[in-house]
Amino acid sequence: MLVPCIHLVGLLEKSGGLAGITHALRNYVKTSRSAQGASFFAGILIFFDDYANTLVAGASMKPLTDACAVSREKLAFIVDATAAPIASIVPISSWVGFEISLIQAELNKILEQDPTSEIANTSAFAVFMESIKYRYYCIFMLMFIPLQILSGRDFGPMLIAERLAKVYGRTDGGSGRAVAPDGQAIVSHNAPKSDTPPRWWNMAFPIVMLIIYIFYLLVWTGQQSAGDIELSFIELIELSNAYQALLWGTMAAALTALAFYFIQDKKGGRIIFCNVKGYINKMKRFCARHQGMCRRGQEEEVASVDVEDEGEHAVILMGYREAMSSFLIGMEKIFGALVCLTLAWATGEVMQAVGLDRFFGEILTNPNLDYRMLPTLTFVIAILIAFSTGTSWGTMTIMFPLVLVPSYNASNGDPVIFYGVTAGILAGAVAGDHASPISDTTILASMASECQILEHVKTQARK
């Protein structure tokens, strides 16, 4: 999933699409507050996957927030704190299929021991929907960010970072921006050529197609699982293969973007779509000069037509070599993040190997514990596991088998406790993941925003 995302973001940057969005929004985004609001809106718009959300929103909003003297720490916080909360609670996202599969496995266990259970006889998707209103961290975070932007109030290390950027008028991201080993600012080797016109549609069209492809593939994979059974849209989403849909959809969007750039020519700061006349005239000149197929008079006629054609000297917006180069440069940029992710996953496995999950499981399943405390304790322990392992999905995988059935038994099937424990696992996994320095989304948000990882962790964890 990560590789096609990098390819797509690289194409958006090389084509001038990211710069085009920046230029288009500059007429409306002129203050720090509006730049932060635009970053938050971009995160809400790409709600279907936290990885795609983080990469696209961070890369596209970085020039805009820099120009408005917003620190990179603040951008990384907005991008990171929007991505997972919105993806985890929206019923149509890459998270839903995974969360529902874990819930359904526990419902099946409850159904085996209590066939008359009302909770177990409902669908996992219904449990998921009921748990949304109890996921206070995700809901409050999505409310906190716009309120904080509107009020303009920061605190802790974030206040220092923002004041340093504003007081000194820093339009380079401030002191928290990522720098090269020599101490200089990172220069993108994937920047568009100087003669490439920045156009907003070169980013908007691929993103729209990405959303269309992903929704279509979610429905298609759900239909493949359902067979000949007629199901509703939501039910198909529930049965879909979210990972496969996102992988294929992102790759299809990258190929569509490439084809879209192939039909554009650039000349004198303008874009010419489907320059058929220019292509025909170039072919005529090629035939006249190199194959001797035209007489001298015909060559002069062709030449005169060529001069009159405005597309004659236009060149393609992005060629195949440039597209492949943008992909390789994107892979080079993410290589460090991939190393950090690999080490983070390894650290998570070590934490589980030494029995961290079993230790917390014993606390939650203690028979002397009042069952009414289970939702709160589940949330706190999910935070600790996610913080220690750096993975929200891994935390869900650990917590659901440990907690859900015992909490059902301890509360005698109380639906409020059951939904609260489910929400505690899902929300706590996101909260701990946000504060963890070895989290995949923390690393990706820092990389996409070009912010120092430790500065991002310090400002976000204390926000």
Residue 78's pLDDT is what?
A: 94
pLDDT along the chain (463 residues), means of 10: 68 81 81 91 82 81 88 93 90 77 86 83 82 93 93 88 87 78 58 81 87 86 81 74 77 88 82 72 65 51 47 69 76 64 65 68 73 90 87 84 84 90 94 88 86 88 68
Between CA 449 and CA 80 the distance in angstroms is: 10
Asked if 65 and 203 touch (Cβ cutoff 8 Å), the reply is no
Residue 281's pLDDT is what?
A: 66
* Pairing, β 264-267 against β 315-316: antiparallel
Residue 274's pLDDT is what?
A: 76
Residue 4's pLDDT is what?
A: 66
Residue 307's pLDDT is what?
A: 44
E strand or H helix at 316, and its extent? strand 315-316
Put residue 227 in one of left, alpha, beta given phi > 0 → left and psi -120 to 50 → alpha.
left
Burial (CB < 10 A; 0-12, 13-18, 19+), residue 113, is: exposed
Between CA 440 and CA 257 the distance in angstroms is: 27
What are the angstrom distances between the C-alpha of 289 and each of 106, 305, 330?
A: 74, 15, 40
Asked if 11 and 326 touch (Cβ cutoff 8 Å), the reply is yes
Asked if 248 and 221 touch (Cβ cutoff 8 Å), the reply is no
Between CA 105 and CA 268 the distance in angstroms is: 61
Between CA 383 and CA 387 the distance in angstroms is: 6
224-260 tens-digit pLDDT: 877 777 777 777 776 777 667 777 888 888 889 888 9
Q: Residues of the chain with pLDDT > 70: what percent?
A: 81
What are the angstrom distances between the C-alpha of 86 and each of 18, 108, 119, 129, 383?
A: 23, 28, 26, 14, 18
Between CA 14 and CA 442 the distance in angstroms is: 25
In 3-state terms the chain splits into helix, strand, coil percentages (rounded to 5) of 70, 5, 25
Residue 305's pLDDT is what?
A: 46
Positive or negative: CA dihedral 179, 181, 182, 186: negative
Asked if 360 and 379 touch (Cβ cutoff 8 Å), the reply is no
**φ, ψ for residue 291 (rounded to 5)?**
-120, -5
Residue 8's pLDDT is what?
A: 77
Asked if 432 and 395 touch (Cβ cutoff 8 Å), the reply is yes
Buried-state track 31-54, b at ≥16 Cβ within 10 A, e below 16: ebeebbbbbbebbbebbbbbbbbb
Which residues, at least 6 apart from 64, have a Cβ–Cβ distance to it below 8 Å? 21, 22, 25, 26, 29, 35, 38, 39
Report which residue type is found at 219. V
Between CA 10 and CA 325 the distance in angstroms is: 9
Which residues, at least 6 apart from 190, have a Cβ–Cβ distance to it below 8 Å? 10, 13, 14, 325, 326, 329, 330, 333
